[in-house]
Amino acid sequence: MIANPAASRPAAAGSGAEAAPAVRVTGVRKSYGPVTALDGVDLDIEPGEFFTLLGPSGSGKTTLLRLLAGFEHPDGGQIELGGRDVTSVPPHARNVNTVFQDYALFPHMTVAQNIEYGLRVKRVPRAERRAKAGQALEMVRLGGLGDRKPAQLSGGQRQRVALARAIVNQPQLLLLDEPLGALDLKLRQEMQLELQHVQREVGITFVYVTHDQEEALSMSDRIAVLNQGQIEQVGAPLEVYERPATAFVAGFIGISNLIERDGRQITVRPEKIRLLTGEEAAPEGATVEAGQVQDVSYVGVLTRYVVDLDRGGQLVVARQNETAPAEPGGLRGSRVRLAWHSEQAFTVRQGPGPDHGDPGRQER
């Protein structure tokens, strides 16, 4: 059977001692000529986590993944895997595997031969290779397809083969570089569930790179949001979405709702805001601001309202279509009031700082 590293890890020696992080990055810097890709990054990833590096193109997430794999070397700082300094260790000497977006399967080999390849390089006996490859195929729900060639498989099936080939070697760390980027939306969503299922079953630490916010929120134990070579915030999906630490995080994850009040930038999510018309009473203790509806968009499960506030700034409001929605243009141009509770709004900073990851609530 393919072992579960998380289940088999020995307890740390000594009373109260903690196991080393699966990944520890300390002060890592990397530049390409005049371009700074990573600027003093610090990060810990715990054993068995599904950890996602999230950010736009050019944020440094793929560079960080390549440094973990050993494909690149940092200009400064240190990288540890399981407590071992691997900063200068070449890729083949790290117990790390990578799954790429383009699958990188050998077209002339069968599915089973592709999965066995790494074991064959390690001179694992043929019978053991075949047994492990069969187990890996069953784990990714491709049992019985070992004799096919990659060209005979769908895109989703080829991605599963690439995943099986990576986990069959039982790596200490599995790196996934936007592996679902080439798939259509429905298949992408199915593979998100598949990856979560496999990760829970094998217990390997996954480090996943994506620019897709919804993908990161739905799959991850924790997320690091990168911007211009720095980490803006690290936290669980709920924390990062509900309590963004910086203006960038608030705007990049979900719809940006930022207004300036009393010299502070305030963020509040669209679904937290109540839109009041006519004489409708505001909830007790809520912050209330008046404005005019500039645009209305019907998007199926909800309707979005764009409101220009009298005090300056603009907010997007999401109203769930629990019953038959009103005509989309019905409120356009109307005077309305917006209400939200203080615990649903947060003060955000312009960028990462010493109070990293600890946004403040709005004061009434």
**Three-class secondary structure of residue 49 per DSSP:** coil
Q: Is 152 helix (H, G, I), strand (E, B) or coil?
A: helix
The pLDDT of residue 13 is 40
Torsion angle of C-alpha atoms 104, 109, 113, 114, degrees rounded to 10: 0
Superfamily of domain 5-239 in CATH is P-loop containing nucleotide triphosphate hydrolases (3.40.50.300)
Local confidence pLDDT in tens for the 364 residues of the chain: 455 544 434 343 443 456 899 999 999 999 999 999 999 999 999 999 999 999 999 999 999 999 999 999 999 999 999 999 999 999 989 999 998 877 788 999 999 999 999 888 889 999 999 999 998 888 888 888 899 999 999 888 888 898 899 889 889 999 999 888 777 888 888 888 888 988 998 899 999 999 999 999 999 999 999 999 999 999 999 999 988 999 899 989 987 789 998 889 999 999 999 999 888 999 999 999 999 999 999 888 889 999 999 999 999 999 888 776 666 667 899 999 999 998 889 898 876 654 444 445 554 3
Task: Tell me the pTM.
Answer: 0.84
CA distances (Å), origin 351, targets 5, 179, 231, 357: 37, 29, 9, 11
Domain boundaries, the chain: 5-239, 257-361
Query: How far is residue 134's CA from residue 115's CA, in Å, rounded to a whole number?
Result: 9
Domains 5-239 and 257-361 equal at CATH topology level: no
CA neighbor of 109 nearest in space, from 159, 156, 149, 161: 149
pLDDT at 262: 87
SS3 letters across 174-241? EEEECCCCCCCHHHHHHHHHHHHHHHHHHCCEEEEEECCHHHHHHHCCEEEEEECCEEEEEECHHHHH
Looking at residue 305, its pLDDT comes to 94
Q: Is CATH 3.20.20.140 what the domain over 257-361 is classified as, yes or no? A: no
For residue 203, the number of C-alpha atoms closer than 13 Å in the C-beta half-sphere is 9
Distance CA 111, CA 148 (A): 6
Rg (CA), the chain: 24
